[in-house]
């Protein structure tokens, strides 16, 4: 999604803005721009494509000034083009925006009737034009921005910069997050703390409906009702060094390979001897139902957790995709625990689903990676996954860390509901503690997976099959492959093959079968035979016993170490991630910022 930065500084601001935008690149974008005020004069530069294009432009057409705003755009209204890139400027006003102005058509009509001319196809331009109009009517800058904000519907984070004012930024948050950074005689604003990390670690998060009037010497925050709001400044722990590739070619590679360490740290945070260290009062004994809601990869984590909660804790679980859940008005019986999973904690649909449950569910839990996020703050209890900053757009370590927390919750529920003895819990936790070691062993299979991936990269369509706990993972494997390699991939429950998808099988369609040698293995082998009988090329991901039982007709086999059955979704996620990664590298796609995708989806 779009990234926003703003700086009222004491040095030339253009390079600082570009560097801050670089730190927001992980969100996904298609064009970028900055605006500065120099000796009272507002000017801007914008370029389509990667930030390097903007940097090149700034070499030939530099922008001076110590105050400015910057933006990386992920197109919603209007194609990626220089003219549609932010900052948008109208007379003395420049704005950068993340989100969608839902009533922009009505505002455009109104502005057109007043004689305004439009240069862009964006919703954001209406914000600049409206502010310009109110200034022309005689309002001062702050009043004009305020009046404009009161006219906007939808979700947005906005920052305004004005001609003639090199010590003023106005920031507003409704729906999309915004952080204010405090420096030494400087003040910053950014979509998140990562953007501001080299500048400051002192951050104030704006709340829903807040506006901030910023100068170098003052931060004046007002709430939605216009009352002065006292929002605390926190010291956040995102240090600059953690947001680098540490020698890997891509962030995604780094994030895949650091999973043994990351999982070990996450386990340390939650395990205390034979106990799961979860907040007092979190008890599932009386829960009658669990509703799990999320989007994308986080949703597949929920789908996996359904198997755990139902089999281990006997707790009925409903799972849904947030964008569907929020609009189908599902009844939420009392004694329902609603649980939302989100890496960013800012996904618009997941947040809306949470708000839908606010007054209906017994309690609202969330599993998040960003502790200060909106979803975390609006939950009764937010459980961090401790994955560390995830930069690659394709979620990898966040997925395994989400699974880890969900598994711990399922174990806790099993104990609370009298379905698991202390000894059985101790045994399950011992298995979990062994998982980082198994992760290392799985990563050792990288050469075999890379070889298979190079062949997969030559194909157009790939099928993923799995049963039981491997079924959600088949979906995750297919999602990973399609999002970064652009190869069409579909996932099916192995048992569904005969009900339609088998028609797709021929020798040009690799079929990835994820099947540890568990109670369902023989059934999956039968499905595999059906694929191979039709010329299908099977890539089998299994353990040593599975490889032996499957026989020699499979195209390629990746042999993983044996793991406790409940832990296989975490372990088998790694080869699925590596397969997608190597296929994308072989195809030469943009692994960390795949086309059209954004890291934090703050619009519907
Ligand atoms: C895929 C991926 C997305 C996200 C989804 C939800 O690799 O990362 O599918 O899982 O957009 O995002 P969060 O978890 O931030 O709510």
Q: What one-character-per-residue DSSP string does 121-144 give? A: S-STHHHHHHHHHHHHTT--HHHH
Pocket test for ligand 1, best of 294, 297, 383 (most atoms within 8 A of CB): 297
State the closest ligand 1 atom to the C-alpha of 299, by its place in the atom list counted from 1. 10
| Start-to-end CA span in the chain (Å) | 11
Q: How confident is the model at residue 60 (pLDDT cuts 50, 70, 90)?
A: very high
Q: Are 191 and 3 in contact (CB under 8 A)?
A: yes
Q: Judge if the beta carbon of residue 601 lies within 6 A of ligand 1.
A: yes
Mean pLDDT within 325-337: 92
HEC per residue, 408-433: HHHHHHHHHCCCCCHHHHHHHHHHHH
Q: Judge if the beta carbon of residue 580 lies within 6 A of ligand 1.
A: no
Alpha-carbon distance 557 to 235, whole Å?
48
Pocket test for ligand 1, best of 191, 296, 378, 486 (most atoms within 8 A of CB): 296
Beta pairing class for 67-73 and 31-38: antiparallel
Residue nearest to atom 11 of ligand 1 (CA): 296
Q: How confident is the model at residue 198 (pLDDT cuts 50, 70, 90)?
A: confident
Contacts of 73-77 spanning 24+ positions with Cβ under 8 A: 73/2, 73/29, 73/30, 73/31, 73/32, 73/33, 74/1, 74/2, 74/27, 74/28, 74/29, 74/30, 74/598, 75/30, 75/31, 76/100, 76/123, 76/603, 77/104, 77/121, 77/122, 77/123, 77/124
- The percentage of residues in the chain with a pLDDT greater than 70, rounded to a whole number, is 99
Distances (CA, A) of 62 to 56, 94, 312: 9, 18, 62
Q: Is 357 a catalytic residue?
A: no
State the closest ligand 1 atom to the C-alpha of 343, by its place in the atom list counted from 1. 14
Query: What pLDDT, in 10s, does the model give residues 131-146?
Result: 999 999 999 999 999 9
Alpha-carbon distance 562 to 436, whole Å?
13
Alpha-carbon distance 7 to 71, whole Å?
12
The count of residues in the chain is 604
Q: Judge if the beta carbon of residue 468 lies within 6 A of ligand 1.
A: no
Residue nearest to atom 3 of ligand 1 (CA): 296
Q: Judge if the beta carbon of residue 395 lies within 6 A of ligand 1.
A: yes
Structure token digits, residue 134: 């109110």
C-alpha of 210 from chain center:
23
Integer-rounded Cα Rg, in Å, for the chain is 25
Q: Judge if the beta carbon of residue 349 lies within 6 A of ligand 1.
A: no
* Collapsed DSSP state (helix, strand, coil) of residue 356: helix
What is the pLDDT at residue 598? 74
Å from CA of 298 to ligand 1 middle: 6
Q: Judge if the beta carbon of residue 339 lies within 6 A of ligand 1.
A: no
What is the pLDDT at residue 243? 66
State the closest ligand 1 atom to the C-alpha of 297, by its place in the atom list counted from 1. 10
Active-site entry in 66, 254, 480, 599: 599
- The percentage of residues in the chain with a pLDDT greater than 90, rounded to a whole number, is 81
Å from CA of 261 to ligand 1 middle: 22
Q: Judge if the beta carbon of residue 166 lies within 6 A of ligand 1.
A: no
Q: Judge if the beta carbon of residue 366 lies within 6 A of ligand 1.
A: no
Residue nearest to atom 9 of ligand 1 (CA): 296
Distances (CA, A) of 139 to 41, 136, 242: 20, 7, 45
pLDDT, greater one: 474 or 232: 474
pLDDT, greater one: 493 or 596: 493
Dihedral pair phi/psi, residue 112, rounded to 5°: -60, -40
Q: Judge if the beta carbon of residue 557 lies within 6 A of ligand 1.
A: no
Mean pLDDT within 381-399: 95
Query: What pLDDT, in 10s, does the model give residues 34-46?
Result: 999 999 999 999 9
State the closest ligand 1 atom to the C-alpha of 601, by its place in the atom list counted from 1. 11
Q: Judge if the beta carbon of residue 210 lies within 6 A of ligand 1.
A: no
Q: Is the peptide bond before 87 cis (omega within 30 degrees of 0)?
A: yes
Residue nearest to atom 8 of ligand 1 (CA): 395
Dihedral pair phi/psi, residue 447, rounded to 5°: -60, -40
pLDDT, greater one: 163 or 535: 163
Which of 342, 265, 255, 356 has the alpha carbon at shortest distance from 297? Answer: 342
Query: What pLDDT, in 10s, does the model give residues 222-257?
Result: 999 999 999 999 888 765 446 677 778 999 999 999
Q: Judge if the beta carbon of residue 297 lies within 6 A of ligand 1.
A: yes
- pTM of the shown model: 0.80
Å from CA of 297 to ligand 1 middle: 5
Å from CA of 542 to ligand 1 middle: 26
Element (H, E) at 570: helix 568-587
Å from CA of 107 to ligand 1 middle: 32
Å from CA of 536 to ligand 1 middle: 31
Which domains can be identified in the chain, with CATH numbers? 3-235 (3.60.20.10), 244-420 (3.40.50.10490), 442-591 (3.40.50.10490)
What is the pLDDT at residue 422? 95
Please state, rounded to an integer, the average pLDDT across all residues of the chain: 93
DSSP alpha helices (H): ranges in 61-100? none
Q: What one-character DSSP code corresponds to residue 380?
A: S
Q: Judge if the beta carbon of residue 296 lies within 6 A of ligand 1.
A: yes
235-246: b (≥16 Cβ within 10 Å) or e: ebebeeeebeee
Alpha-carbon distance 339 to 469, whole Å?
20
Q: Judge if the beta carbon of residue 298 lies within 6 A of ligand 1.
A: yes
Active-site entry in 2, 295, 302, 357: 2
Å from CA of 299 to ligand 1 middle: 8
Is the sign of the CA dihedral 360, 366, 371, 373 positive or negative?
negative
């Amino acid at each position: 999604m779009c990234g926003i930065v703003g700086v009222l500084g004491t040095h030339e601001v253009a390079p600082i803005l570009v560097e801050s935008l670089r730190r927001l690149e992980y969100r996904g974008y298609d064009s970028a721009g900055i605006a500065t005020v120099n000796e009272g004069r507002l000017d801007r530069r914008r370029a389509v494509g990667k930030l390097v294009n903007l940097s090149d432009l700034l070499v030939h057409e530099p922008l001076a000034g110590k105050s400015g705003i910057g933006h990386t755009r992920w197109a919603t209204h209007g194609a990626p083009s220089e003219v549609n890139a932010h900052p948008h400027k109208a007379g003395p006003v420049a704005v950068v925006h993340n989100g969608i102005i839902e009533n922009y058509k009505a505002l455009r009509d109104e502005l057109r009737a007043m004689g305004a001319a439009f240069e862009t196809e964006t919703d954001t331009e209406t914000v600049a034009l409206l502010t310009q109009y109110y200034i022309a009517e005689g309002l001062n800058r702050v009043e004009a921005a305020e009046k404009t904000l009161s006219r906007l519907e939808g979700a947005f984070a906005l920052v305004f910069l004005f001609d003639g004012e090199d010590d003023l930024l106005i920031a507003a948050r409704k729906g999309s997050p915004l952080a204010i950074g405090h420096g030494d005689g400087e003040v910053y604003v950014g979509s998140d703390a990562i953007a501001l990390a080299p500048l400051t670690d002192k951050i104030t998060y704006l709340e829903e409906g807040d506006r901030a009037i910023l100068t170098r010497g003052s931060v004046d925050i007002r709430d939605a009702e216009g009352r002065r709001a006292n929002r605390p400044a926190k010291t956040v722990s995102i240090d600059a060094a953690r947001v680098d590739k540490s020698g890997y070619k891509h962030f995604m590679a780094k994030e895949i390979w650091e999973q043994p360490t990351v999982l070990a740290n996450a386990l340390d945070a939650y395990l205390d001897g034979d106990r799961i260290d979860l907040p007092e009062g979190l008890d599932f004994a009386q829960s009658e139902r669990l509703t799990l809601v999320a989007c994308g990869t986080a949703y597949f984590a929920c789908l996996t957790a359904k198997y755990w909660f139902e089999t281990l804790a006997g707790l009925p679980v409903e799972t849904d995709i947030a964008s569907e859940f929020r609009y189908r008005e599902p009844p939420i019986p009392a004694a329902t625990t609603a649980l939302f999973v989100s890496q960013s904690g800012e996904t618009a649909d997941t947040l809306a689903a949470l708000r839908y449950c606010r007054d209906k569910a017994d309690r609202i839990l969330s599993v998040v990676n960003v502790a200060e996020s909106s979803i975390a703050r609006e939950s009764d209890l937010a459980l961090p996954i401790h994955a560390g900053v995830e930069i690659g757009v394709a979620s990898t370590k966040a997925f395994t860390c989400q699974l880890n927390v969900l598994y711990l919750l399922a174990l806790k529920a099993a104990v609370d509901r009298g379905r698991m003895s202390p000894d059985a819990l101790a045994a399950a936790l011992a298995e979990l503690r062994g998982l980082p070691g198994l992760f290392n062993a799985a990563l050792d299979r990288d050469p075999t997976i890379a070889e298979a991936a190079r062949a997969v990269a030559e194909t157009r369509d790939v099928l993923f099959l799995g049963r039981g706990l491997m079924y959600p993972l088949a979906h995750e494997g297919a999602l990973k492959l399609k999002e970064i390699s652009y190869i069409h991939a579909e996932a099916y429950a192995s048992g569904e093959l005969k009900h339609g998808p088998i028609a797709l099988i021929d020798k040009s369609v690799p079929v990835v079968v994820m099947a540890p040698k568990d109670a369902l293995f023989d059934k999956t082998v039968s499905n595999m035979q059906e694929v191979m009988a039709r010329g299908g090329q099977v890539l089998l991901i299994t353990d040593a016993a599975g490889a032996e039982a499957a026989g020699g007709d499979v195209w390629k086999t990746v042999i993983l170490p044996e793991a406790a059955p409940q832990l296989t979704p975490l372990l088998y996620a790694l080869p699925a991630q590596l397969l997608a990664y190597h296929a994308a590298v072989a195809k030469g796609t943009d692994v960390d910022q795949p086309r059209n995708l954004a890291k934090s989806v703050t619009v519907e």
